[in-house]
Amino acid sequence: MAEDTQLKMTQVLVLHRHGERVPVRHQTRILGVERLWRQCSIAPFVRALHTVLDTDKDKDAHATVAPLFPPVIGEIRVIHGDPGDADSKFIAGLKGTNSANEGVCNPGQLTDLGKATMHSFGASLRREYTDNLNFLPHILDPEFIANNLYVRSTGYVRTIESVQYLLAGLFPLHTRPLGKKGDISIHISARENMYIDMGCKRLRQILEPFRAAAKANTAEETLRIMKKLESLFPDTGKKENVPVVSSTPGAPAEPLSLAEKRAKEFNFREIDLFYDTFKCMSASSIPFPPGVTSSDMDSLSHIFMESFIGGIADAATPSKSDLKTAHTVRKLLMGRFVGDLLHTMDENIKNPKNGVKLGIFSGHDTTIGPLLVSLGLFEGETRAWPKFASNIAFEVLQVTKRNSTTLNAGDEGRYVRVKYNGVAMGLEACKSKGSHYMGDPTLCTYKAFSSAMRTLIPKNYEQECAHI
């Protein structure tokens, strides 16, 4: 790059998982960890949602109820803010505002720690993109809010609240216009594509043998951990008077304990119950129940990750399936959402004045993980379950003359950097010569990046899903 040129940021799209929460199911109360459920002394932003929760114990009771939102957009003001920069001061100012229920959380609810985490994440984005790079405005104006800012969330209370606290850290109250001009709308899609659609028959058909293999590979580990944890199930130590077929020809059948049956049948629901509970405890620095060790947690994490997304990642890896199958999996997993991201980038290139400069997408672990798989990045150190507040950032930059605001038309001289939890990642499509910026394969040419991403976008999703 010539000495009189520089890379100038033109857009950043941030996809994040929500902050720390409590478990999503009531059944976890049987573990007796009452402290886990008393972490919600800060009143939720979206109070109205808590009055009409679905209380079915078999469902995530902290999901939104459909009639509360218009089909396309929900306008939700970010009502809390603080002129100071200290997270502790911001959070302290909200304490005690949920005293009516003595801090008891609803299933799946964002905890006080989760709110603080997301506020801190928003503040870190401000330090990076406002203070350090001078890309985002220090003081918001209605025009930027209307034309250059796009915020989207899945229809869950915890994701909506997470992005609200993120925005409160990124744009503190004193930086936003007063009144309605300072409202920031959160879009909720009528046809959600920010997590896996297991109703896609073709995807389900492809994944079945890979997920079965992943479960079989963890069966011994599952049996061991389930037997250890069976004391946490009511009556699981009792033998059932049901004969079972022995795996050894000619050997007499032996009755199985419920824990053994669960392991052999791979009762994913029970693994999920334990993993989700212990994961939430660990994130909140709450000690595990007596007898449960960090090694047990590692086992549960490994079983859960490999069984849910490990098999998916294997199906999407050419060396473990085949090139065509792997590409089909990547496309049907998150291809529609990749299309949304790429459309947002294309529109900003066409119309930089009124295009989205900052896009924030609030989702789940089942958003981050599958997207990493579709991008070919779920490998090595990243082959792990996404932690709370994990995030993927797409930074678009362009070569321009120093001290100039003039940018070239089209995608010429534009680059894309993908970061996972702040670490720049190298996409396979960007490794070849001419596909990245001067010796840096993590800085992909927009042409190489967009070409690779377009191959992931289904031409007709419904038809491709129905094809078996």
Distance of CA 225 to the CA centre of its chain: 27
Q: Kindly tell me if the per-residue pLDDT of 242 is higher than 60.
A: no
Q: How far is residue 279 from each of residues 248, 286, 298, measured CA to CA in Å?
A: 38, 10, 10
* Nearest alpha carbon to residue 135 among 15, 13, 10, 6: 10
Of 332, 335, 333, 357, which Cα lies nearest the Cα of 344? 357
Distances 162 to 39, 151, 169, 281, 434 between C-alpha atoms, Å: 15, 12, 11, 19, 39
Is 90 exceeded by the pLDDT of residue 422?
yes
SS3 state at 282: helix
Torsion from C-alpha of 87, 90, 96, 98, nearest 10 degrees: -90
Confidence (pTM):
0.83
Task: Please choose, from the candidates 182, 107, 89, the residue with its C-alpha nearest in 3D space to the C-alpha of residue 142.
Answer: 182
Per-residue pLDDT tens for 409-419? 455 789 999 99
- Whether 391 and 121 have beta carbons less than 8 Å apart is answered as yes
Is 21 a residue whose pLDDT tops 90?
A: yes
pLDDT at 26: 64
Q: Could you report the per-residue pLDDT of 287-300, keeping only the tens digit for each?
A: 888 888 999 999 99
Mean pLDDT of the chain: 79
* CA 267 to each of CA 50, 187, 273: distance values in angstroms, whole numbers, following the listed order: 31, 36, 10
Each residue's pLDDT tens digit, 324-357: 999 999 999 999 999 999 999 999 999 999 999 9
pLDDT band at 100 (very low <50, low <70, confident <90, very high): very low
Question: What percentage of residues in the chain have a pLDDT greater than 90?
Answer: 49
Residue 80 scores a pLDDT above 70: no
Q: Please report the DSSP string for 401-457 in residue order.
A: ETT-----STTTTEEEEEEETTEEE--GGG-STTSEETTEEEEEEHHHHHHHHHTTS
CB proximity list for 12: less than 8 A, separation 6 or greater: 129, 135, 357, 358, 359, 393, 394, 395, 396
Cβ contact 81:174 at 8 Å: yes
Q: How confident is the model at residue 358 (pLDDT cuts 50, 70, 90)?
A: very high
Question: Contact 28/276 with Cβ under 8 angstroms?
Answer: yes
The pLDDT of residue 124 is: 97
If we measure between CA atoms, which residue out of 135, 137, 3, 4 comes closest to residue 404? 4
Model confidence at 275: pLDDT above 70: yes
> Distance between the two ends of the chain, CA-based, in angstroms?
50
Quick: pLDDT tens for 381-407: 889 999 999 999 999 999 887 555 544
Q: What is the mean pLDDT of residues 232-254?
A: 40
| Angstrom distance (rounded) from CA 403 to CA 38 | 53
Per-residue pLDDT, 106? 84
CA dist., res. 103 & res. 43, Å (int): 9
Can you say how many angstroms the Cα of residue 19 is from the centroid of all Cα atoms in its chain? 10
Share of the chain above pLDDT 70, in %: 74
Cβ count within 10 A of residue 294: 10
Q: What mean pLDDT is predicted for residues 188-193?
A: 82
Determine the pLDDT at residue 144: 94
Query: What pLDDT is attached to residue 37?
Result: 85
CA distance linking residue 57 with residue 65, whole number of Å: 15
Q: Are 19 and 165 in contact (CB under 8 A)?
A: yes
Instruction: Map tokens 């989205």 to a residue.
Output: 356
pLDDT band of residue 47 (cuts 50, 70, 90) is: very low
Residue 237: pLDDT band with limits 50, 70, 90:
very low
Pairing of strands 5-17, 391-401: antiparallel
Q: Which pLDDT does position 249 carry in this prediction?
A: 35
